Amino acid sequence: MIDNEKLLPGVRFNEFGEANVVVWAPELDEVSLLLVESEVQLPLKKQELGYWSLQTGALKAGDIYQFIVNGNRSPDPASLWQPQGVHGPSAAYDLRSFKWTDKNLPQVALKDYIIYELHTGTFTEEGTFAAMESKLDYLVDLGINAIEIMPVSQFAGARNWGYDGVLPYCVQDSYGGPEALQHLVNACHEKGLAVILDVVYNHIGPEGNVLPQYGPYFTDRYNTPWGDAINFDDAWCDGVRGYFIENVLMWFRDFHIDALRMDAVHAIKDMSPVHILQEMKSRVNELAEQTGKAHYLIVEMDLNDTKFIKPTSKGGYGLDGQWVDEFHHALRVASGQQRSGYYSDFEPITSLAKSYKDAYVYDGTFSEHRKRIFGVKADGYPGEQFVVFSQNHDHVGNRMLGERTSQLVSFEMQKLLAGAVLVSPYLPMLFMGEEYSERNPFMYFVSHTDPELAEAVRKGRKREFAAFHIEGEAPDPMGVETFNSSKLQWSLLPKEPHQTMFQFYKTLIQLRKSQPALHNMDRQAIEVEPDVVNETITIRRWSGEQEIIVVLNFSKSVRETWLPERGSGWKKLIASSDSQWNGIGIMADPPADRLIMLAPESFAVFTNS
């Protein structure tokens, strides 16, 4: 762990405009700073624990620089800005130069998050942070209060999902660089939007990875899907841990990010007495005491293991929340979509009902797909610690053709899926464009400049889908058209049926915010009744005096349902089959006998108040 603030990785400027330059390179004999314009080399001095440092007034903000390591020119491993891409020199950026106006603005509490996942390059035609700012009012109007930005750390070229980043501290140049990101976050906060940033600490991308030139950032002790694991517990791991811990703190402290979504943490290998995630959370807590702000860590992981979100006082890592892929899997199967691969582990209706109640579907039960008993109980953890969705970048983009749900199910089923997510006792997340039934796919795309690597990616995608016996050709991940055809079509929004879908989402989000029983994160205040024969699920939720009944009909037939008997009767809040949502008619408030007729592929919400 880095204790000395003067040993923050990279280039940091002090109040006098001097640059404090730090590199961790424990096994090198010399390291020099190269001022590219003048070709002047300045040697760094070796410090303890493998650090090299230099304080100089010769390097100014905006200057282009490199390091000389092993006789070669190399970007700064903690570069903040690569204006010429991953293979070019670094540019010095003063993180303190941006004038923030959000200091006294209130933060959105985690329990209130309505999340909208987006990819910077395809969210707008321009594919930049600045262009994203032009859509913030739209998101506020929709009811969103938290955006989740897919990874922005520097990757090769200008087209990538972001999970091939190679410089964790650097903000992608084609998106606008570090100042543009700071400006975006500030603009979000002024409009009441929290910002979640997707970060990757389980691997480094394949092109432009300079970390091995500087030190043992990787270990062959473990294998991951992407090669050698990042070195969190082998020889010289302290410097590596410090590098990534400081990266976490930088996003919160210097970019005012509200939360980090940490990609695939099950692929982080660490057998240390204090797991790297636990140490990160501990340092984040220290930062929160200094800033007076909340800083959340939310993980994606495929383990159904509550130790990640368990408080440190009870032996856990203390993280704030996690994605629940199993809710998505169960919802997909309930909607009648194909049960192949890991989806084969899920049953229509019953799996979804279980996830509503228990979060995890597999919580100590046998998984046929995994051929083992899998998961633990998630009892005692509030709903705000779980993020659910009907689609996200993975579950769309990892299909061969990148089809969105709008291309796979009916308009009625799309509304039902939206309702299923937004009435859950968990944090809901939308994937960009689903709110107006975007038709364009979201495909896998890259822009590697290494021809051999590019060809290897093409062949890898073909092999991947051959294993699923999918016919046809996978789109070329390197193709510009693959990227362009994945962009949102904002011109669809005012047209039908897209405007109706948008208004439906807007209304549904407002209901979740305004109805106490829907907004309640208490997982004990829910009852779930699945009906496998009729393919329906009835959910009862409550908060104080209010009760809510939600009936979900996944079948292709009209279903009769009796609502529970209540003294004051039931009032309809919304029915997805109503004609105003392009449905078949208008559902009236339930009659005295409480018998309702639910249209195929629809849902309705009722309240007793």
Catalytic residues: 263, 300
Q: Is 512 annotated as a binding residue?
A: no
| Burial class of 569 by CB neighbour count within 10 A (0 to 12, 13 to 18, 19+) | middle
String of b and e for 299-326 (b: at least 16 CB within 10 Å)?
bbbeebbbbbbbeeeeebbbbbbbbbbb
Return the C-alpha torsion angle 435, 438, 443, 449, nearest 10.
-100
Q: Which of 202, 232, 204, 203 is closest to 216 using CA atoms?
A: 232
Q: Is 326 annotated as a binding residue?
A: yes
Q: Is 395 annotated as a binding residue?
A: yes
Neighbours of 80 (CB within 10 A): 24
Q: Is 370 annotated as a binding residue?
A: no
Q: How far is CA 549 from CA 30, 560, 575, in A?
A: 69, 15, 12
Q: How far apart are CA 316 and CA 298, in angstroms?
A: 14
Q: How far apart are CA 539 and CA 537, in angstroms?
A: 6
Q: Which two tokens stand for residue 190?
A: 């002024």
Radius of gyration of the chain, Cα coordinates, nearest whole angstrom? 25
Q: Is 119 annotated as a binding residue?
A: no
- Beta-carbon contacts of residue 39 (< 8 Å; ≥ 6 apart): none
Cα angle vertex 512, ends 524, 544, to 5°? 45
Q: Is 87 annotated as a binding residue?
A: no
Read out DSSP for 404-472? Answer: -GGGTS-HHHHHHHHHHHHTSSSEEEEETTGGGT--S--------S-HHHHHHHHHHHHHHHHTTT--S
Q: Is 265 annotated as a binding residue?
A: yes
The DSSP symbol for 578 reads B
Find the helix or strand (DSSP H, E) in which 581 lies: none
Q: Is 3 annotated as a binding residue?
A: no
Q: How far apart are CA 238 and CA 281, in angstroms?
A: 16
Q: Is 267 annotated as a binding residue?
A: no
Q: Is 432 annotated as a binding residue?
A: no
Q: How far apart are CA 204 and CA 230, in angstroms?
A: 8
Q: Is 393 annotated as a binding residue?
A: yes
Q: How far apart are CA 537 and CA 528, in angstroms?
A: 7
* Three-state DSSP string of 260-275: EEECCHHHCCCCCCCC
Q: Which of 523, 521, 526, 525 is closest to 537 using CA atoms?
A: 526
**Three-class DSSP category at 124:** coil
Read out DSSP for 344-370? Answer: GG--TTHHHHHHHHHS-S-SSEEETTT
Q: How far is CA 521 from CA 1, 223, 383, in A?
A: 36, 38, 5
Q: Is 262 annotated as a binding residue?
A: yes
Q: Is 396 annotated as a binding residue?
A: yes
**Which residue reads 């889908």 in tokens?**
465
Nearest 5°: phi and psi at 325? -60, -30
Strands 321-323, 296-299: pairing kind: parallel
Q: Count, in order, helices (H) and strands (E) of the chain.
A: 15, 30
Helical H segments across 98-176, by residue range: 120-123, 129-133, 136-142
Q: Which two tokens stand for residue 505?
A: 């989402």
Q: Which two tokens stand for residue 364?
A: 């100590």
Q: Which two tokens stand for residue 473?
A: 């050709």
- Residues belonging to the binding site are 261-266, 325-329, 393-398
* Known binding-site positions for substrate: 261-266, 325-329, 393-398
